[in-house]
Structure 1
Amino acid sequence: METAQQTFIFPLSVVENSEDCAHSAKTDHDLSPFKLEGTEESPVMHSQEDDLTGMEGLENTAKTAGENELCLPCKVCGDKSSGFHYGVMACEGCKGFFRRSIQKKIDYKCHFSGNCAIERINRNRCQHCRFKKCLAVGMSKESVRIGRYSKRVKQSNMDEIKRLTSKPETPAEREARERHEMEVYTLSQAVLQAHSMTCEYTKEKVEALLQQRDSILMRLNAGEDMNIPPTVDYSKWKPEERSSSKVFAWKVFCEAIMPCTQRVVEFAKCLPGFLTLHQEDQMTLLKQGFFEVWMIYLAPVMLTEERVILLGGDSLFSRDFLAKMETPDLWRHIFEFAAGMHQLQLSDMETALFAAITIMSSDRGGIKEPKQVEDLQEKFLECLRREITRREVKDNHLFAKLLMKMPLLRSTSTLQMETMLRFRMEFPEVTIPLLLAELNNINHEDAEDHFMLPLMSEVLGLNGNSRKRPHDIAERLPLTKITKEGGLFQPPKAVAGVPTQRSPSSSEPEDINMVVTMRTATT
């Protein structure tokens, strides 16, 4: 019997509750250009189905005496839960529904607004919204627990029981809580999407690059010159820009990091809420935060022991090359940060949210509306905190460890700016790329830059004459094509490896900033 190839289709906005819905299945003759390759019988899905079947019986369903007196409600439908299933307290019905949805890759569709209320009495009416609710509350195959409850989970459950007994949750409170959970989830997906489109060093790409590590280092040790990326055209440089090894190294470095710098700017523009900030605050946040995000982006490809940075292809920055820049303190701080990040083993979602938090820092000097920036940062902090709790291997101190990296990021960024200014003063004849110069508050004296354009305003589109840049993708959000690296509603940890996709027939969503603007659950 031929296996049907199916996808999950989700709406791209959080809207009001609606009436009952129906579902329909899509077969392999109804494929879209957005569909990912692979079928239900791929090796990955085989192992996932086997794992789900085998591990389900091992999940812990035991409860303490206190929990038996009052079982926690199912996080999905509110029915009496039977235990901790796929990462959350859930009833047998929702546990089985989630397992079947993943194994069979059923294509659910909501024929209404896409946000139907899921309760015990109507949970079977709209499978689409029920599955979306499962994802929103944190269910995933990776979150299966084997063995006894941990003390932390047990205490958390007892605290929730105490909360429920002391003050029953009203329908309005439950609706507000569920809406807030969905908004947090949706915001996380928007940040992940921005990261996937602007960062060249996602986890999958880094793993592929590191597989070439030994061969690259062997070629480097053999004396092969791999320090000049193909994006750097030094044939057009002025003679004075080749006058010394230091000048040459600095010039190569500045031009080599330009593509990534542009992508950092685009990442910021894609962040929900960023373009609603005061125009001067947008530029301030980028000027003071771009190098910090650059470090976050490049950290996975920094070989800290060898003091080498892999740039992809046949390009890298070697220890000898970096030494020619004569900035040992700067690179010592950068590699120290990278070593710390390697230990944390962040996912793409965690990296994306950490970068968003770094950009959206209200304590930057010169911010005109710090409260607005702080509110946005708080939303990203909540998303990161939620994502960390979903980890299969728990690290109770990971959130604190990440925040403790920020002082090192800040001091290194300041050192980079000071170093760039000293280089400019020592070699005023060297042309620095315009965007990099303005990000570092460097004034050009070259004739071609005599009338220094407000470049950041152009990049951000603040004056209505924004330049079209190769990496300027913010204006194209939402995408007309969802890439495999992460769709707007792909779970932070892809549920059983089944990425969710948009329906080709679905209408274009609203402005992404409007879609994911979060409301406080307590209001």
Structure 2
Amino acid sequence: MYKHMSSYFTGEDIQMLNKHTVSNIMALDQRDPEANLEVIPGESWNHAGHVFIEEVNSVLGNPTINADEETEGPQICRVCGDKATGYHFNVMTCEGCKGFFRRAVKRNARLQCCFRKGTCEITRKTRRQCQACRLRKCLESGMKKEMIMSDVAVEQRRALIKRKKRERVGTQPPKAEGLTEEQQTMIEELMDAQMKTFDSTFSHFKDFRLPEVLSGCGASESLKAPTREEAAKWSQIRKDLCSVTFSLHLRGEDGSVWNYKPPSEGSGKEIFSLMPHIADMSTYMFKGIINFAKVISYFRDLPIEDQISLLKGGTFELCQLRFNTVFNAETGTWECGRLSYCLEDPAGGLQQLLLEPVLKFHYMLKKLQLHKEEYVLMQAISLFSPDRPGVVQRSVVDQLQERFAITLKAYIECKRPQPAHRFLFLKIMAMLTELRSINAQHTQQLLRIQDIHPFATPLMQELFGITDG
């Protein structure tokens, strides 16, 4: 689905995922315990800290330049030939030789060659064998003793960097005050569309069918004993659907409560008792999503054929995103005004429950504790998917999806404290990809159920391409 999503990740995002690993940090510490006295490449991804260190280096006359800054390819250490990380003490060197030179000069020890009278070859493999020749090679390469700071100077430098950072943080606005006027307008339009088309109290959901047991009717034709062939089909569908069942609670206007709980065991046909009610609820939600799309100016500007294709492809996904806003993960209940749908877990645990893709999706998404703005931007990203079947103006839809994705990323950076939420955007995009997969599975299950037990409303039949034949 999101084959172009890589364009939404900056180099900083990728480096954050690839470079800042515990193993890299531990390896660096083992190579050189004092390596943190100078700027290293990994630190340059913290932009603010990098700026402060550059300023201090400039003041102290101790410049540090990245190894790849002057040329496009990697550089080698002038002392041992290992991969260089930058200019250290006036020479392009690796972290190992940088640390060795600092320690050797600070110890002020008299080193003597014990092998070839000062002519040992220094390479990445032999550099630890003769300290005297390694120090000689450092000096011959141009490394300068006078550029090594004393312990007092190091502490002063660290204090200066911290002070500069505090001052900069206090005077500079947060990076993502970077929500542009256009992005703010996009969010406001989406929020307005959401407010006009989604009532979380479900106060307008009134004309719906209830399960046959709840409505007080006796066993109807649809619940009579099935034939052997029908029972086999129903049993398979039951396996395909969900190993847990739902109970429905309806709170009356007079305060009374009606409860419906499907039998825990049966031929498989009893699960269809809820289907008419689910069809009514789904149709109600689908109408709201269609109206949501029609309110958005970017959607109205598309050709009517593309509007229909986008709605057919994305309505189920937007429906799940809206349902997640009323999902209570602590009780396993969708709280839809007077109606509530509760998960029945006979085993008393969630292990089996989380094996179900749709249910797992709701728990995982709810765990992110998203803002209303983030939910509505997710709906827009899902709606404007250029690879839906039948979409003609794919490039236009693709550009719109990218703009909504970039807006979501900017919103997170602006409204969420860092670094606690630095991966939130990536997690959201992963959830949308998972939802796309669930959408495909859901459509296949719906068609199998409809083939045996027709229950879909006309709107559902149109959206999911169900034909009477």
After TM superposition, the score normalised by the length of structure 2 is 0.47
Q: TM-score normalised to the size of structure 1?
A: 0.43
Greater RCO (Cα-Cα under 8 Å, separation 6 or more): 1
